[in-house]
Amino acid sequence: MDWRGSYDNRGNCSFGYGSGYGENGNGENEKQLAGTVRKCFSRTGFVYVIFLAVSLLSQWMAIAVLNMTGLAAGTEWNLYMLIVLFSMYPAAVPLTGLLMRWVPSAGQVGKERWGIGKLAGFFVFSMGILYAGNLVGVMLMGVAGIIKGEPIANDMQEMITSMNPGAILLSAVIVAPVMEELVFRKFLLDRIAGYGHWTAMLVSGVIFGIAHGNFYQFFYAFGLGMVFAYIYLHTGKIRYTIGFHMIINFWGSILPIGLLKITQINGVLGGILAIGNTMMMFGFMICALVLFLCCRRDLYFDRGPGGISGGKMSRAVWINGGMILFLLCGVVTFARSL
């Protein structure tokens, strides 16, 4: 039997058995389902375009207000950065949650209970993805810098190193993980879980990666976005991914700054710690690979609705007005970062 999508009077999409493509041979139900999928993800794309636009507009307005009122000159740098960074959240996050209700809901996330051992395994895997993705981004930007003829700045890294640990802790480790997990996991996956885990994970990863706005961060953000989506799709507990996100952001921001300060004070000790950090990085990547090879058969991915071929499903998800516009916004943003 195949699946067919239909909408209730609240705009939610449910899939019921129907005589689909394989039975009647004319593909009418497949075409209908493709239209349902296209509608859902086009709206999703438009919502995240609005999220990007509102986020940028909020930050520009905060900078403009600080400059026009003269407060910028008298505001300490760390406070200034916190005001600019936090300005996007009061408008962009609630608006995204509200607009995602416009996206037809399909399916629901799972309610599995995971023990400490499984969560620890996924954390180690996440750390491996973090380091591997970061390595890919740095190598790619190194090659791009050679082609361009000058190094390409990592704006996020420069911004983080310009702030004191307290400001970083508040912004990158506490507030950002909560806001980002709501926007890129809960609001999104609660609506699209029924289209299959792989589809939901890819969409979450791509949107999360593009929202970071540069190639340095895209690859690890994309990988972590997929892993976090898998966790939320199975457990339905956003606190797990928020916790992982907080620890990873701490690991990637506070610890490197501490290592840099130690190196400035004691070059020998700093060198030893840098070697240890490099060994730990490769250790996490090796452990992540081993975990994946040993446990890949234990991973479960819901396939979503049948009655539509993989190619048509992919085209319906990505080739639509909203998603194309979102991807174009990403191309422009990434091009500006080079």
Per-residue pLDDT tens digits for 35-51: 999 999 999 999 999 99
Q: State residue 5's pLDDT score.
A: 42
pLDDT of residue 304: 81
Compute the distance between CA of residue 166 and CA of residue 298 in angstroms, rounded to an integer. Answer: 41
How many Cβ atoms are within 10 Å of 62's Cβ, its own excluded? 17
Q: Compare 256 and 220 and report the one with higher pLDDT.
A: 220
Q: 240 burial class (0-12, 13-18, 19+ CB within 10 angstroms)?
A: buried
- Whether 22 has a pLDDT exceeding 60, the answer reads no
pLDDT over threshold 50, residue 111: yes
Question: What is the per-residue pLDDT for 13?
Answer: 53
- Rounded to an integer, the average pLDDT of 71-85 is 86
- Phi first, then psi: give them for residue 28, nearest 5 degrees: -65, -45
Percent pLDDT > 70 in the chain is: 92
User: What phi and psi, each to the nearest 5 degrees, are found at residue 202?
Assistant: -65, -45
Beta bridge partners of 16: 4
User: What letters, b where the CB count within 10 A reaches 16 and e where it falls short, cover 92-126?
Assistant: bbeebeebbeebbbbbebeeeeeeeebeebbbbbb
**pLDDT given for residue 235 in this prediction:** 97
* Segment 183-204, tens digit of pLDDT: 999 999 999 999 999 999 999 9
d(CA 225, CA 26): 38
* pLDDT band, residue 273 (cuts 50/70/90): confident
Please report how the helices 267-295 and 116-148 are oriented relative to each other, as an axis angle in degrees rounded to 10: 120
Confidence band of 2 (pLDDT split at 50, 70, 90)? very low
Cβ-Cβ contacts under 8 Å for 329 (sequence gap 6 or more): 49, 52, 210
Sign of the CA dihedral 37, 38, 41, 47? negative
Q: What pLDDT, on a 0 to 100 scale, did the predictor assign at position 8?
A: 44
User: What value does the mean pLDDT take over residues 144-157?
Assistant: 88
Q: What is the mean pLDDT of residues 31-36?
A: 91
- The per-residue pLDDT for 86 is 93
